[in-house]
Homo-oligomer: A and B are copies of this chain.
Amino acid sequence: DIVYVSISGFGENGPYAQKPVYDPIVQAFSGLTTVQAGADDRRPRLIRTVLPDKLTAVTAAQAIAAALVGRLRSGKGQHVRLAMLDAVLAFLWASDMGAQTYVGEQVSQRTAASFIDLIYETANGFMTVAVMTNKEWAALTRALECPQWLEDSRFVTPALRDQNIDARLEMTQEVLKTRTTEAWLARLEAAGVPCAPVLTREQVIAHPQIIASGILLESEHPTAGRLRQTRTAARFEAPTVIRHGAPHLGEHNQEILSELGIARETIEALRRRWLIGAEVPR
């Protein structure tokens, strides 16, 4: 009744099944580097976080929980298989593989995704602004003091604004350059326009919203010192605590092997022969 998950790079079958794999290999092979390039004919680009590695971990956690639900219902465990490549493809499909979704229909290669331009330069830095609905568009024209944009025939519907995206983003950029990020955030927030400052990593941990949300937890690690980490993203009704830090190699040998019913003398013998890692004293 064990739930067991095997994780592979390319899957367990096929010509690539035995190939060694690192995160960028999966990025290149899955189409993710083409997606990041924006169009098929541009230079492919890597995502600069190990997305395949980490997404596979999140997907594995979901699969384990689902298999545990299955076991609680049926009494039976199972062997679940997960490939990094599959995790990335399933992630990309809905939003980035539209041209590959309709079987047999020819669809020309994707043109550049436009939202790369939603990072705007201001008088003193960068910010982002994203408007979709007519109400948000009207609010933006007010906040930017450009009421004439509301009359512009290129921008009267969401579809037209999407079609004329280059003109729209350039015009928005020109206006945003004239004031500071702080000034624009105040104006845009007051008008109800979706916007945010672009934060660096150091700014993230100091921002009042991050502090209020409680996403960052501090804890004392016996050897590493005081650590700042995130709690689990989902908040369950039971409070989230960090019970202990990452264990040292072999730290829980005694505990786990005893639980499995292995005699203390056997554990000692394994340790003496260096077949299991030694515990590091706290």
Whether B20 and A194, one on each chain, are in contact in the complex, defined by CB atoms closer than 8 angstroms, is yes
A181 to chain B, nearest CB (A): 11
A62 to B224, CA, bound (A): 30
Whether B63 and A236, one on each chain, are in contact in the complex, defined by CB atoms closer than 8 angstroms, is yes
Given A24-B118, A126-B44, A227 and B101 touching (CB < 8 A)? Answer: yes
The stretch of A153-161, A164-172, A201-209 in contact with B is A201-209
Whether B204 and A30, one on each chain, are in contact in the complex, defined by CB atoms closer than 8 angstroms, is yes
A132 to chain B, nearest CB (A): 7
A218 to chain B, nearest CB (A): 6
Whether B91 and A202, one on each chain, are in contact in the complex, defined by CB atoms closer than 8 angstroms, is no
Q: For A103, list chain B residues within 8 Å (CB).
A: 218, 225-228
Choose among B49, B126, B195 the residue that contacts A32 (Cβ–Cβ < 8 A).
B49
The stretch of A80-88, A144-152, A247-255, A261-269 in contact with B is A80-88
Q: For A11, list chain B residues within 8 Å (CB).
A: 209, 212-213, 215
A162 to B128, CA, bound (A): 34
A104 to chain B, nearest CB (A): 6
Whether B63 and A234, one on each chain, are in contact in the complex, defined by CB atoms closer than 8 angstroms, is yes
Name the prevailing secondary structure of the A interface residues.
mixed
Q: For A62, list chain B residues within 8 Å (CB).
A: 58, 61-62, 65, 234
Q: Kindly supply a per-residue 1/0 record for chain A positions 41-73, scoring 1 wherever the CB is within 8 Å of any chain B CB and 0 otherwise.
A: 001111111110111001111110111111011
A70 to B237, CA, bound (A): 11
Q: For A115, list chain B residues within 8 Å (CB).
A: 23-24, 46, 48
A168 to chain B, nearest CB (A): 15
Q: For A109, list chain B residues within 8 Å (CB).
A: 200-202
Q: Which residues of A pack against B, CB within 8 Å?
A: 5, 10-11, 13-17, 19-38, 40, 43-51, 53-55, 58-63, 65-70, 72-73, 78-83, 85-87, 89-97, 99-105, 109-110, 113, 115-116, 118-119, 126-128, 130, 132, 136, 189, 192-205, 207-216, 218, 224-237
Besides A24-B130, A67-B236, 18 new A-B residue pairs in contact (Cβ under 8 A), listed by A number: A14-B212, A17-B209, A20-B192, A28-B196, A28-B197, A32-B49, A45-B116, A53-B95, A55-B58, A59-B233, A65-B69, A82-B234, A86-B234, A89-B216, A97-B204, A100-B204, A102-B225, A104-B226
